[in-house]
Structure 1
Amino acid sequence: MKIALDPHMHRHLNLRDLCRKAAELGYEHIELSPRDDFLPWWVRPRAHKERIAEFKAALKDHGVQLASILPMYRWASPHEDERQAAVRYWKEAIAIAAEMGCDTMNSEFGRGPSPDRSHRASCCGGMHTHEHSEAAWWRSIEELVPVFEREGVTLNMEPHPEDWCETLHPAIDMLKTIGSKNVKFLYCAPHTFYFGDDMARMIRDAGPLIAHVHVADTYNHKASSGLRYIINPPGAKVTIHQHMDMYQGEINWDVFFSSLAAVGFDGIITACVFGWEERADDSGHFMRSEIQKYVDKYWPGKLG
């Protein structure tokens, strides 16, 4: 089991200082989310050979390892030029992960085409439907799975609010349909209330397919007659959730961790808080400590 830090709130640091910071906060593992000097959002990787070598040296110097690398590309775009570019970027990113000695990557199902090519900045805008985006994703995944398998890299997938696939079902059904031991499920705790209302049952449904979890808290946007948030104008179509420190929202953490233990989870646990950049160090320390308490409680003997 690995407890990792998503260092998004520390992305202003260079890669060497990022490794130092992760170690200072008590982490031995990093889940590297998109950053402009390595794998930026949507565009070709910027991780050239010199930077890869420098990053590998910094990780070694500070006793930190990459638990996972998170790329984000438009592999579900119905625009074939966007989709093909995304597949090329994915292949480069997989090669970079292998070069870094990182055997795990994670990503999302995707938000369809670039909003710049649509009349609205949300998934599958313009004339395109969710079905178009799903079909595009299948074309991409069918080309990429053999690459993951050849390189010995596992891909952990999460449904995300606003994506063409944003719920537990059909996400786990599609991943099982792929039928590859190199494709697993990532359960993101702050997305729970988009998945459903019975977290324990949903974790049981996903079962051993869960290889990776994101830990951060969120409010239940459906609670209080849908008035947990006040949205103007009333009835506006939005998707909203948080990535807060544990106990600041409404996730039941005993249910979460006990349910994971019950299905035999033994993967990556990532502290994935975005909401407190002004106190990023305190948040990182706190999340590392609290996650370890639950690991000790439900997986006695696991170091994390």
Structure 2
Amino acid sequence: PEESEDAFYRSMEELLPILEREGIKFNIDPHPDDFVEDGVEAWRVIRGLNSKQVGFVYVAPHTFHMGDQPEKILTSVGDRLGAVYLSDSFDHHKSHGLRYITNPPGNAVRVHQHLKIGDGDVDFNELFKLLRTTGYLDREDALLVSNVFAEDETFLDVSRYQLQKIKELVDNA
């Protein structure tokens, strides 16, 4: 984690002047196994860069890695929310942390899923209500991205399904 954090700040020292000069927006996703996973802490890091060019990506399947606190994250990020990635995942904290069983027990593994909306534990109705109340869904530049990774063999059907679900969630929010 320390090496990753150091590399991040060195990269930002090089990138920020370019982003500022060129007017480029750059959005960051707190990712599982990065030096900071918690969404609120990640926002503090991003905000600490002191640049309006850097925004936040809310990745729905990372909800449980980010501390399962979408309301706190999205209201804190406000208009610096740059994109929302939409796929589902299971809450790995459920079943006393034994949601996934690997053999042999005790393997140092973490499951990282991006399933179809509705195939996991993310509360998309709550998420879309938050996106509506924070004004994100009303923004001209709002970006909702389907990012299912686990369905390559049926990608056309999954893509159509995701589009339909996203439209329904927007309409019902």
Q: Same fold (TM over 0.5)?
A: yes
2:68 maps to 197
Aligned match for 1:283, one of 150, 155, 158: 158
1:224 maps to 95
1:260 aligns with 2:131: yes
RMSD over aligned Cα atoms: 1.5
1:181 maps to 52
CA shift digits 1:18-64 (9 cap, x unpaired) = xxxxxxxxxxxxxxxxxxxxxxxxxxxxxxxxxxxxxxxxxxxxxxx
Aligned match for 2:115, one of 235, 239, 244: 244
In structure 2, distance between residues paired with 1:177 and 1:296 = 35
1:154 aligns with 2:29: no
In structure 2, distance between residues paired with 1:197 and 1:235 = 24
1:233 aligns with 2:104: yes
Q: Contact 2:4–2:34 at 8 Å: present in 1 too?
A: no
In structure 1, distance between residues paired with 2:70 and 2:46 = 19
CA gap of 1:275–1:140, structure 2 versus 1, over 3 A, is same
Give matches, 1:54-203, under 5 Å: 130-203=1-74
Q: Which has the larger radius of gyration?
A: 1
Read off the aligned partner of 1:280 and give its amino acid letter: F
Identical positions, percent: 37
1:270 maps to 145
Q: Contact 1:244–1:273 at 8 Å: present in 2 too?
A: yes
Read off the aligned partner of 1:218 and give its amino acid letter: S
What secondary structure, in the 3-state scheme, does the structure 2 residue paired with 1:229 have?
coil
In structure 2, distance between residues paired with 1:182 and 1:205 = 17
1:295 aligns with 2:170: yes
Q: Contact 2:83–2:144 at 8 Å: present in 1 too?
A: yes
Read off the aligned partner of 1:220 and give its amino acid letter: D
What secondary structure, in the 3-state scheme, does the structure 1 residue paired with 2:58 have?
strand
What secondary structure, in the 3-state scheme, does the structure 2 residue paired with 1:193 have?
coil
What secondary structure, in the 3-state scheme, does the structure 1 residue paired with 2:64 have?
helix
1:207 aligns with 2:78: yes
CA shift, 1:264, in A, is 1.8
Q: Contact 2:71–2:130 at 8 Å: present in 1 too?
A: yes
CA gap of 1:206–1:236, structure 2 versus 1, over 3 A, is farther
In structure 2, distance between residues paired with 1:240 and 1:169 = 22
Q: Contact 1:166–1:195 at 8 Å: present in 2 too?
A: yes
Q: Contact 2:52–2:80 at 8 Å: present in 1 too?
A: no
CA shift, 1:198, in A, is 3.4
Question: Gapped runs of 5+ residues in structure 2?
Answer: none
Structure 1 runs (4+) greater than 4 angstroms displaced: none
Q: Contact 1:218–1:250 at 8 Å: present in 2 too?
A: yes
Length-normalised TM-score, structure 1: 0.53
